[in-house]
Amino acid sequence: MTSLSFNDWDLEKHVADAIGQLGWEEPTQIQAEAIPFARKGMDVVGQARTGSGKTAAFGIPIIESCEPNGSTQAIVLCPTRELAVQVAEEFQSLQGKKGLGIETVYGGTDIEKQARLLDKGVDVIVGTPGRVIDMSKRGHIDLSEIGIFCLDEADRMLDMGFFPDVLWIVEKMGEREQTLLFSATFPQEVLDATEEFTEDPIHVMSEDLEVEVPEIDQFAIKVGRLNKMWALGRIVANMTEKDQMLIFTNTKRMVDMLGERLDRQGVDSASLHGDMAQNKREKILDKFRDGRKKILVATDVAARGLDVDGITHVVNYDLPDETEVYVHRIGRTGRMGKSGQAWSFVGARGIWGTGQIANPGAMSFPGSGKTPGVKECDFKETGTNLGPDGHRQGFPFGKGSANCSINWVVKQAGPR
């Protein structure tokens, strides 16, 4: 909190009244740092995490700069439709009775209905890159006439592979009056974007940038390649109706193969990799986000489009080579204060690699450093002692399958 008051800024009456209705008295740090410069029409680059009040930091200046005349004056890009809805709702709260037309534009909704709303005229657009581009190409959004551009959660936009789309939109906008860019972190690509998107920007930062460490139980399973399906089956069989699983493989070919094997076993899953068309990827992601699909098999690149708080299980079907990749993978579970499980399948060649992954991140894989000893057969690609038939690539889902013990498979593994 700061000693500054919203009343000190002489805000537009509708906005001031709305803030009063919300019960806000003092701006958060990122608001206090960003709003004065943004209200002057300056380009602003802000570093702030989710929950820091950053939406109002760019929302208040944008609302004050726009007039309710039916012409689109500002566009805010968000990485997910959930965030777009959230931002638009806060804009509505902040504008009070000003009367701005604020429209969300994202995939997974009736495109014709969305087009009709845009054609009627809107003052502010909040959307995701893919659908904004679609609407622009269809002639329902004239990007060249929009003066204010805001990019929210730029690092997540980059992480999800949307930056080419963002660049396309920026190029179509031409001359911009103002650019506002907010991000929790600033990898090199985002820093490069700030130079390309902005002109002499003011850099502001919130000191409250700590990242919450999720509560994740990590397990390492020593298992041969052909027995991975059996081990995976035991984990799947113990999932509840509310659980969701994200399975990582290292190759697109393995994504397809594993998806087909799950399908043959009657497991309702979806597969995702970079060779798929964007519209197909978005449909799959939408189904996983809203829970219509409980299991998703993906590569690291394809999974960049994921922002799902309900993931309870992450499975490293193939172990990654780098610590950062491992941490990023398991970070998909245990969100929003919930607990999660991360399972890593480790073969004979990967057993020592678990130590390389675990140690830099101050994590441990119990048992990963032990010699296989008399259980060397556990690691053979054609081992038969991990399931009813180790040569089969499928697994049974019959009556009582959920009770099939995996205890001996994880005898040298356990929670973190």
Supply φ then ψ for residue 124, to 5 degrees.
-135, 130
Residue 408 has pLDDT above 90, yes or no: no
User: Which among 205, 228, 245 is the end of a domain?
Assistant: 205
Both 41 and 145 in a single domain?
yes
Both 224 and 158 in a single domain?
no
Domain-located, residue 408? no
Model confidence, pTM: 0.58
Residue 366 has pLDDT above 50, yes or no: no
What number is the average pLDDT over the span 275-296?
A: 84
pLDDT band at 214 (very low <50, low <70, confident <90, very high): low
Q: How far is CA 333 from CA 113, 213, 316, in A?
A: 35, 11, 12
Domain-located, residue 414? no
Both 201 and 223 in a single domain?
no
Q: What is the pLDDT of residues 218-266, one digit of tens each?
A: 888 877 777 888 889 889 988 999 999 999 999 999 999 999 999 988 8
Domain-located, residue 210? no
Domain-located, residue 44? yes
Residue 190 has pLDDT above 90, yes or no: no
CB atoms within 10 A of CB 140: 17
Domain extent, residue 246, equals 215-403
pLDDT of res. 337: 59
Residue among 215, 220, 167, 221 at smallest CA distance from 190: 167
Both 219 and 248 in a single domain?
yes
Burial level of 374, CB count in 10 A (0-12/13-18/19+)? Answer: exposed
d(CA 236, CA 243): 10
Query: For the chain, what's the residue count?
Result: 416
pLDDT of res. 159: 61
Q: What CATH code is carried by the domain that includes residue 221?
A: 3.40.50.300
Q: What is the largest CA-CA distance in the chain?
A: 78
pLDDT band at 101 (very low <50, low <70, confident <90, very high): very high
